[in-house]
């Protein structure tokens, strides 16, 4: 096990009707805030009204900035920064999924920074300050509600890049699984791939002796494998929605990566897809992750065999661990298919003509991944395996 520092101070308020607490929680930090959200769904299903009423009752005034798109854009972030400065706002309330939260985090970074907020995403600037923020979550997927990460897409060149810092963990995250009842099946499935990918990026590690975190990872994956089919059958199954929502937060809160080197190649490889083709990140991950696995599994057959046996209940073949390992990868792929996700670039209607360009962009700052370091040629092979 490696040395580590871990602190996740976000206050999680979980369960039925918890969105009604948003006013009280927010009022601990500010009496005027930026209310940041996406498209129409929070208005359509009544969440917007509930949040606004709760804020009003707590005496919190709002300035609004809606319109966050999936794969959130730098342009809107910059609008948000200007708006906060102009209005003198010191707290951001994000109501939405990962895109809205990531956009809010980017605004939180940008307001107290003199330069271009994109500097944080290229590594040119180091995070030292950020406005505090709060979250009302609508989609279990990104884990951004307690994570230190934000991923933003810059329209010029369609670069999609992440930044991570503990100052970006929200002060509070309100999670009501009922809010996810109205998610379309495809969005539930994309969120599932994202959640499972967050676990798997941590699971495939070169760090030896990570028993507890291995098992915590496996627990989170098994919880998803059990509960996602239940909600696809019955979208209003509260308990299954609750398991998925809590698993999504636990998956990316940081505990599952303690004491181990993490990988993150598949995320980097996927970011080129969703950056350029504007597909859902989770759909891209469902395509890339199994291809990545098939490319790297020989690097640690025993770990892939453990994944197959413990997560997918594959019977271990001790005389042929490779067969065991491959069976696990196959089960993952079948699971993604069974919940309606694409598992090939073809199913995403992504043509072959820009694979090389994406492989180039993905590795322009050096190789990606830690489990196996992947250079341009490796990434290109993975894209080709994913066709």
Candidate residues 135, 216, 291, 305; the one interacting with its own copies per rule CB under 8 A: 216
User: Which DSSP string do the residues of 102-116 spell out, in sequence order?
Assistant: HHHHHHHHHTT-SS-
The reply on whether position 16 binds its own copies by CB under 8 A is yes
Q: Where are the alpha helices (DSSP H) in 111-237?
A: 118-122, 185-203, 211-233
- The yes or no reply on residue 102 touching its own copies (CB under 8 A) is no
H-run or E-run covering 276: helix 265-277
Residue from the set 11, 43, 298, 323 that interacts with its own copies by CB under 8 A: 11
How far apart, in whole angstroms, are the C-alpha atoms of residue 88 and residue 36?
15
- Integer Cα distance of 183 and 122 in angstroms: 33
Does 209 bind its own copies (CB under 8 A)? Our answer is yes
Q: Kindly tell me which of 2 and 31 has the beta carbon lying closer to its own copies.
A: 2
Applying CB under 8 A, does 236 fall inside the site for its own copies?
Answer: no
Contact call for residues 29 and 135 (beta carbons, < 8 A): no
**Binding-residue total with its own copies (CB under 8 A):** 41
Q: Which of 12, 195, 283, 348 is in the footprint of its own copies by CB under 8 A?
A: 12
159-164 and 149-154 strand pairing: antiparallel
Q: With binding defined as CB under 8 A, does residue 1 bind its own copies?
A: yes
Site string for its own copies, 158-197 (x = CB under 8 A): ----------------------------------------
Query: Is residue 153 at the binding interface for its own copies, with CB under 8 A as the rule?
Result: no
Q: Binding of its own copies at residue 295 (CB under 8 A)?
A: no
Q: Is 66 one of the binding residues for its own copies (CB under 8 A)?
A: no
Regarding 259 and contact with its own copies (CB under 8 A), the answer is yes
Of 218 and 270, CB closest to its own copies = 218
In contact, 29 and 91? CB cutoff 8 Å:
yes
Q: Name the segment binding its own copies (CB under 8 A); options: 255-263, 314-322, 348-356, 362-370.
A: 255-263
User: Residue 13 Cβ, how far from its own copies at the closest point, in Å?
Assistant: 5
CA dihedral 194, 192, 143, 49 (to 10 degrees): 130
Cα separation of 292 and 269, whole Å?
9
Burial (Cβ within 10 Å: 0-12, 13-18, ≥19) of residue 351 = exposed
Q: Is 226 in the site for its own copies (CB under 8 A)?
A: yes
Q: For the chain, give the number of residues.
A: 387
Distance separating alpha carbons of residues 4 and 1, to the nearest angstrom? 9
4 binds its own copies (CB under 8 A): yes
Enter the DSSP assignment of 368.
Answer: B
Collapsed DSSP state (helix, strand, coil) of residue 149: strand
Nearer of residues 20 and 78 to its own copies, judged by Cβ: 20
Under the binding rule (CB under 8 A), the answer on residue 319 touching its own copies is: no
Residue tagged 């959130």 (tokens) = 72
Question: Which one of 12-20, 117-125, 136-144, 298-306 is the stretch in contact with its own copies (CB under 8 A)?
Answer: 12-20
In the complex, the smallest distance separating the C-beta of residue 54 from its own copies, rounded to whole angstroms, is 16
**Residue 3 within binding range of its own copies, rule CB under 8 A:** yes
**Residue 376 phi, psi (nearest 5):** -50, -45
222 is a contact residue toward its own copies (CB under 8 A): yes
Q: For residue 315, state whether it binds its own copies (rule: CB under 8 A).
A: no
- Enter the DSSP assignment of 33: E
The window from 13-21, 100-108, 300-308, 354-362 that contacts its own copies (CB under 8 A) reads 13-21
Examine residue 326 and tell whether it contacts its own copies (CB under 8 A).
no
Nearest distance from residue 255's CB to its own copies, in Å? 7
Among the listed residues 56, 51, 152, the one whose alpha carbon sits nearest the alpha carbon of residue 107: 152
368 forms beta bridges with: 374
Q: Is residue 250 within the footprint of its own copies (CB under 8 A)?
A: yes
382 binds its own copies (CB under 8 A): no
According to the binding rule CB under 8 A, does residue 206 interact with its own copies? no
* Binding-site member from 29, 120, 246, 371 for its own copies (CB under 8 A): 246
- Local structure of residue 179 (DSSP, 8 states): G
Burial bucket for residue 283 (CB in 10 Å: 0-12, 13-18, 19+): buried
Footprint on this chain of its own copies (rule: CB under 8 A) = 1-16, 18, 208-209, 211-212, 215-216, 218-220, 222-223, 226-227, 238-240, 242-243, 246-247, 250, 255, 258-259
């Amino acid at each position: 096990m490696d040395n580590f520092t871990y602190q996740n101070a976000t206050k999680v308020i979980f369960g039925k009707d918890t969105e009604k607490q948003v006013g009280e929680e927010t009022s601990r930090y500010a009496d005027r805030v930026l209310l940041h959200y996406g498209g129409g769904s929070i208005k359509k299903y009544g969440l917007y009204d509930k949040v606004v009423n709760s804020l009003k009752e707590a005496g919190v005034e709002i300035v609004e900035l809606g319109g966050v798109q999936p794969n959130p854009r730098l342009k809107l972030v910059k609008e948000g920064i200007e708006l906060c400065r102009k209005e003198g706002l010191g707290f951001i309330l994000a109501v939405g999924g990962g895109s809205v939260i990531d956009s809010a985090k980017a605004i939180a970074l940008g307001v107290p920074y003199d330069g271009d907020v994109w500097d944080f995403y290229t590594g040119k600037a180091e995070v030292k300050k950020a406005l505090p923020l709060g979250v009302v979550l609508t989609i279990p997927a990104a884990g951004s509600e307690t994570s230190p990460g934000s991923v933003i897409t810059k329209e010029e060149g369609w670069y999609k890049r992440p930044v991570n810092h503990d100052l970006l963990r929200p002060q509070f995250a309100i999670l009501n699984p009922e809010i996810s009842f109205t998610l379309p099946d495809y969005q539930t499935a994309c969120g599932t791939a994202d959640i499972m990918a967050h676990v798997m990026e941590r699971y495939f590690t070169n760090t030896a002796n990570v028993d507890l975190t291995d098992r915590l990872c496996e627990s989170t994956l098994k919880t998803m494998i059990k509960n996602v089919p239940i909600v696809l059958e019955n979208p209003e199954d509260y308990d299954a929605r609750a398991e998925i929502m809590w698993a999504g937060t636990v998956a990316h809160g940081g505990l599952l990566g303690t004491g181990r080197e993490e990988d993150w190649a598949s995320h980097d490889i996927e970011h080129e897809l969703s950056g350029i083709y504007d597909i859902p990140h989770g759909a891209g991950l469902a395509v890339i992750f199994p291809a990545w696995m098939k490319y790297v599994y020989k690097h640690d057959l025993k770990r892939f065999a453990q994944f197959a046996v413990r997560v997918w209940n594959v019977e271990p073949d001790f005389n042929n661990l490779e067969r065991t390992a491959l069976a696990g990868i196959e089960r993952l792929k079948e699971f993604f298919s069974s919940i309606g996700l694409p598992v090939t670039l073809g199913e995403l209607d992504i043509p072959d003509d820009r694979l090389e360009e994406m492989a180039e962009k993905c590795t322009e700052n050096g190789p990606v991944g830690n489990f196996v370091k992947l250079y341009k040629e490796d990434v290109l092979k993975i894209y080709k395996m994913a066709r």
